[in-house]
Amino acid sequence: MLCREKEYFEIINQIYQKVIHEENIGETANYIPELSKIDGEKFGVSLLFIDQLQFGFGDYQEKFSIQSISKVLLLALVYGEIGEKIWERVDVEPSGTPFNSLLQLESDKGIPRNPFINSGALVVCDILIGICDNPKEYFLNFIRKVSGNNTIQYSDKIAESEFTTAYRNAALTNFLKSLGNIHHSPNEVLDLYVHICSIEMTCLELSKTFSFLANKGKNLFDHQEILSNSQTKRINAIMQTCGFYDESGEFAFRVGLPGKSGVGGGIVAIMPKHYIVSVWSPKLNSKGNSYRGMKFLEEFTTATEDSIF
């Protein structure tokens, strides 16, 4: 281990021990029954450098539902397939409203503010349905390719649990349909959406899966190009401005890295050309982001003095 990387190991260890012994505020995502059953005290961290050195702490090898983190991978797949045409149906602006809000859609004439709020991801799901015959299989194969892991799988139990309580997302899908920005069956779109959100990974697997976004669009393990350098830059930019719903500005202010959160308690953040760090802790703050995850990453980038700014 190089001197600088050894320093990172020691910094992460110190912050992990500090955070795990402090108050753990928040609640698990109780509006999704299966997620409400997860032990809120779980806490894992994984750091993967682009030279493929990696280390982890705590529950970093335990699988969890990555939820909205998968929206980045959905965007990467569809953006890679259709290019700039994607921006005709979804914008790239911060929302300033909760991730499942209907308020802006009518005034914005059915164009979601960005692809990471629920309405935006639903539109990207609709686009994917129009690209291929079996979108669930197509997306899963993409995930397996970018992760280098053929064991990655949907959780049917979590997808079913989410689908049975998806009243708000059903409303969003039907509203988008009425405004002309959903072209396929709303039920088909919603079914694809909940399955994409049900993907399960460990912190380590999550870091490996997002490695192409830290490496100019190429996988670390086989150097296969997933996206162009320009497309990679654009997705990282959207993560920076829109990756944490209406707490995105706060994350940029306190952490200073592109990242994406999910209501399963996961967060992945990227220091381009250097590393990928993934954190999992299921208790969420009032904005729907992992309480410990946000706290850990703020202290981590403060200690390392890392930032894209």
Residue 257 lies in a domain: yes
Question: Which domain CATH number covers 268?
Answer: 3.40.710.10
pLDDT at 243 over 60: yes
Query: Does the annotation list 245 as a binding residue?
Result: yes
pLDDT at position 101: 72
How does pLDDT run across 27-75, given as a tens digit for each residue? 999 888 899 999 999 999 999 999 999 999 999 999 999 999 999 999 9
Query: Does the annotation list 31 as a binding residue?
Result: no
- Average pLDDT over the chain, rounded to whole? 94
Percent of the chain at pLDDT > 90 equals: 88
Tokens (6 digits) for 84: 């700039």
Query: Does the annotation list 193 as a binding residue?
Result: yes
Assign 259 a pLDDT band (cuts: 50, 70, 90).
Answer: very high
pLDDT at position 6: 83
- Residue-number span of the structural domain to which 270 is assigned: 1-304
Residue 142 lies in a domain: yes
Residue 309 lies in a domain: no
pLDDT at 105 over 90: no
Nearest-5° angle of CA 291, CA 296, CA 300?
A: 155
Contact 8, 276 (CB under 8 A): no
pLDDT at 1 over 90: no
Query: Does the annotation list 187 as a binding residue?
Result: no
pLDDT at 109 over 90: no
Beta strands in the chain (DSSP E): 44-49, 54-58, 64-65, 200-201, 259-261, 266-271, 275-280
Contact 23, 146 (CB under 8 A): no
- How many Å apart are CA 206 and CA 63, to the nearest integer? 10
Poorest-pLDDT segment among 2-16, 186-200, 237-251 = 2-16
Helix (H, G, I), strand (E, B) or coil at 62: coil
pLDDT at position 182: 98
Query: Does the annotation list 19 as a binding residue?
Result: no
Prediction pTM value = 0.96
Assign 108 a pLDDT band (cuts: 50, 70, 90).
Answer: confident
pLDDT at position 246: 83
Q: How many domains does the chain have?
A: 1
pLDDT at position 103: 75
pLDDT at position 5: 76
Residue 146 lies in a domain: yes
Query: Does the annotation list 8 as a binding residue?
Result: no
pLDDT at position 30: 87
Query: Does the annotation list 263 as a binding residue?
Result: yes
158-162: average pLDDT: 94
User: Which of 54, 76, 38, 80 is CA-nearest to residue 200?
Assistant: 38
pLDDT at position 99: 66
